[in-house]
């Protein structure tokens, strides 16, 4: 449900258009199979002046997801950072940033705090609970090496 609301924020924020422009659709539609299309569309939206702060955060979030799907973890991390800066209540952005930190082992020490914040913002996020448990297991394994 939350993912749909992120898409709707972007669509509702399109610059006074009756129908969303193609970039908005490409950036928000979860059915788009090619992450490079999502990256390009979200980049176009982010560069436009027609988005409010929440919609810009959603575009960064969606582009970060696409970057993560293509293995570009550092770019994904930067987009999740920006999404959180623009919308500090976006629990999914905290969870996804923690996922990148955990699974790509980039600044892994911050992952636990991100999972905690995602859970504080959305206590029903079962994925955050599960991924936090995996992160703790990874951290223990890394410390034993």
pLDDT tens-digit readout, 19-41: 667 667 788 877 777 999 999 99
Residue labelled with tokens 């970039």 = 23
Radius of gyration (Cα) for the chain, nearest Å? 15
pLDDT of residue 145: 65
pLDDT of residue 137: 84
Neighbours of 69 (CB within 10 A): 14
Instruction: Please give the backbone phi and psi of residue 18, each rounded to the nearest 5 degrees, phi first.
Output: -75, -40
CA–CA gap between residue 46 and residue 63 (Å, rounded): 10
* Regions in the chain scoring below 70 on pLDDT: 1-20, 22-23, 144-145
pLDDT of residue 14: 44
pLDDT of residue 36: 94
- Of residues 138, 139, 117, the one with CA closest to residue 128: 117
Q: At what angle do helices 73-86 and 91-103 cross, to 10 degrees?
A: 160
pLDDT of residue 66: 95
pLDDT of residue 115: 96
């Amino acid at each position: 449900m939350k993912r749909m609301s992120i898409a709707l924020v972007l669509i509702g924020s399109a610059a006074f258009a009756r129908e969303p422009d193609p970039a908005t659709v490409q950036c928000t539609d979860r059915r788009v199979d090619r992450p490079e299309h999502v990256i390009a569309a979200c980049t176009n939206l982010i560069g436009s002046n027609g988005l409010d702060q929440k919609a810009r955060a959603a575009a960064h979030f969606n582009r970060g997801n696409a970057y993560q799907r293509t293995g570009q973890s550092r770019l994904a991390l930067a987009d999740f950072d920006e999404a959180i800066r623009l919308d500090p209540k976006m629990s999914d952005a905290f969870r996804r940033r923690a996922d990148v930190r955990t699974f790509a082992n980039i600044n892994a020490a911050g992952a636990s705090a991100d999972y905690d914040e995602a859970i504080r913002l959305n206590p029903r996020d079962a994925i955050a609970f599960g991924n936090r448990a995996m992160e703790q297991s990874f951290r223990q394994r890394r410390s034993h090496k």
